Structure 1
C-alpha cells in the first residue's frame, strides 16, 4: 500500500483469496501501517493525521512493491478507506507530566492491610509533532505501579474507565477517582514511604505503567491503548508542621492514674501542608519525650487519626498518660 503522491510505502496488506466480479467490487483488507524506511515516518504521520481529520487522500495498492514498474491487475486506486479505530502500541511518550492534585488515604476498618485512595490527578497529553488533529478525551483507564527510593514496587493502582475533564487549550486532563484500592505490593517499602512523608519535608515516588484513552475526533471515537506512563511525583511532607502549622490549643488535666502518672486531654490544630491527606488512619500512638534528655514521658493516643485536605485545619483530640 503506497501513498498516492510520491509512492512512499505506507504498509502492507494481504489478500488470501481474490475474487472480482463484473461491476463494482468491495474488498476488506487487513494490514499494518509500517514504512519500509525509518525516513518515511513523517509521511506515515501526515497520512494518519489526514485520516483522523477526515481529509480525502489518494492511496494505491500494488502487487509486491510500488517500485515494480509494470504493476498490472492489482494496480488499483482506493476510493474509500476505513481503519479499525483501536490504535494499539502507541510507544511514543504522549503523557508528559503527571500531577497529584489531592490524594486521600483511607485504611480499612476491618482489613487493616487494605488501603483505599480517593483523589484527583492531572496529566498533560500531547500527540507526536507530525500528527495534527483536534481531539477531546472522554474516558481513560490507568494501571501503574509506584516505587520509592529505587526499592521494589511498593504499590499498584488500577483505575478503570474513568470520565475525563479535558482542557483542550492546554491539553491537560483531569481525572477524579473515589475509594480505589491501593494494592500494597511491598509492606516494608510502603512503611518507609509513609515514614518519610511524616518525618521529612518532601517525599518522591516514581510511577510507571500503561494508560488507555477514549477520544473523540472528527471521524468519530478512537481508542488509544498501551500509552506508557513514566514520571516522578514530588509530595510535600508533613514535617512542614515545624513551620507553625501545628498548634496545641489547650491541655486539660483529666485526673491522676496513679501517684506517678497523670491523664491529660490535648486539643491540637493542624494545617495540612501536603496534597496527601488521611480520611481514616486508625489509632495513632506517639511517644512524648523530654527534648533535653530524650526520656519518654508517656504516650499520646489519637483515635481516630485523620487529616483534612491541604491547607485546611484539622482539630484532633488526644489523650495522654504523662509520668511524673
Structure 2
C-alpha cells in the first residue's frame, strides 16, 4: 500500500512531465512568431537597396526610393508590434534567433552603405534632406524593434542582444552623419563653342594695333603700281624735248654737249624717281612684317568644386566576431543544460 509522501511525489512528477511538452510547444510557437515578424523587415530593406542601386539621376527613381523607404519603416513598426505580443524565449530558442538577427544586421549595413555611396546623385536632385529624414525615422523604428527583441531574450542572452542593438545603431548613425553634411552643388563650367570666333584682344593703353586688311581688299602698294603706266608715258613725251644725239660725222659743239647732258640727266632723274616710288612697296611685299599681336587672355570660368568621395560605412566585425558569437551561444546552451 502506497504511503502519502510517495503518492504526492508521483503526482508532482506526472505534472512536471505533462507540462514540459506544453512549455516546449509554446517556446517554439513564440520563435515562429518572431521569425515571421522579422522576415518582411529584411525583405523591405533589400527592396530599398535595389531602389538605391537603380538611381539614375531622374525624379522617377528617386520617387521609387522614397516609396520603398516608407514601406520599410511601416514594416519595421508592424514587426515591433507582433514581437511585443509574442511570448518570451528560452535559451535554446534565443540562440537560434541569433542567426536571424545577424542576417538583419548584414542587410542593414549593405543598404546604408549603398545609400551613402549614392549621396551625390541625391544632392544633384535636391532630395538629400528627404533621405536624411527617412534615415532618422528608420533609426527610431529599428531601435524600437531591437528593444522588443531584448525583452523576449532570457537574462543570460541580454548582453549579446545589447551588442546587436549597438551595432545597428552605429551603422544607422554613420548614414545619418554622411547625409548631415551639406550638399555639394554642381558648378556649371562655361564652354566656348568651336565654331564661334575668338574675341578680339583688348590692347593696353598706348599700344596701337594695326587693323587687319579686309577680305578681298587690295594691298596698300597697289595704287603706286597703278602709276607706273603714267610715269612711262610722261617719260616718253619728255625725252623728245631734249636735243638729239649728234652722229660721229658731225663734231659736237658745246651746245649739243650741254643738251646731251641735260637729256641724260633728265632720264636718270626719272628712272631714279621711278625706283624710289616702286622699290619700297616691292620690298614690303617680298618681306612682309608681321603685325603686332597681343596674346589674348584665357577666358575665366568657374572652378568646379572638388569631387570628394563619400564617407564609407564601417561594417561590423567579420569572422572573428561570428566565432565569438557562436562561442557565446554555446556558453548559453551549456548554462541552460546545467
TM-score range, shorter chain: under 0.3
Does 1 or 2 have the higher relative contact order (CA < 8 Å, sep 6+)?
2
Q: When you count strand as a share of all residues, which structure comes out higher?
A: 1
- TM-score normalised by L of structure 2: 0.22
- TM-score normalised by L of structure 1: 0.23
Q: Which has the larger radius of gyration?
A: 2
